[in-house]
Amino acid sequence: MLVALLIRVVFGSVYGAEAQGLAEKITGLHRSLKSSGRDYPPYIVQCALVSAEDWRASKHPGYDMLSIIRACVKNLTGAGVEGGSTILQQLIRVLTRNYDRTAKRKAKEVILACLVSKLVDRNIVPAVYLSIAYYGTGLTGYKAVCARLGLQQEVSCIEDAAKIVARLKYPEPKKPSQYKRNKILARELHIVGLYRKHKRTKCYEFLETV
């Protein structure tokens, strides 16, 4: 938390206006999403997202230092490629449309996430992200991915929720190969396993439902 405080003190004047603008976009999107009712991503899908992407989302200040360190170690040692981004960071990336693979972009994303986390309720972030995220070719937003997968928007089981969330890491191409299908299926099974592990904890208690 000391690092987060330092970030806010040092960079608040530089990125404060941009963070405020992002916070207003997020709350505006949430307001519209909530008024629509049926389009609001169900609790089980939010749980699947938290398990898959950011299971410490209820505790960190917008960024997860442990995930960042783990990702750096894996990337540097060749043990695998890992992003380490929180759900809020991913949401900011979508809103800013900045996908540069640079350390500068990543650092700014962390700073903005730290600042924005003080301006919005963390419980609305997963639903807003799910509602505008990219799931594959022609699949932007929760409604679109449900339609493509032949799912009702009122998803009620973890297996269907995992199908949706798996496509955040492995976006579905227009004509998926068998290799791609296998990657997505493996991701789905992994998410189901994570959910069964995490549901015994309190990591989902912060989520908002409609």
Tens of pLDDT, residue by residue over 37-80, are 778 999 999 999 999 999 999 999 999 888 877 767 766 666 55
C-alpha 107/C-alpha 10 separation (Å) is 13
* 188 pLDDT above the threshold of 80: yes
d(CA 9, CA 134): 33
What is the pTM assigned to this prediction? 0.92
Report, as an integer, the average pLDDT of 12-30. Answer: 96
- The pLDDT score that the predictor gives to residue 78 is 63
CATH number at 27-198: 1.10.3810.10
Angle at 140 between CA 165 and CA 39, to 5 degrees: 75
Residue 210's pLDDT band, with cuts at 50, 70 and 90, is low
Nearest to 164 by CA among 183, 191, 203, 138: 191
pLDDT digit string, tens, across residues 137-177:
999 999 999 999 999 999 999 999 999 999 999 999 988 89
Distance CA 101, CA 148 (A): 29
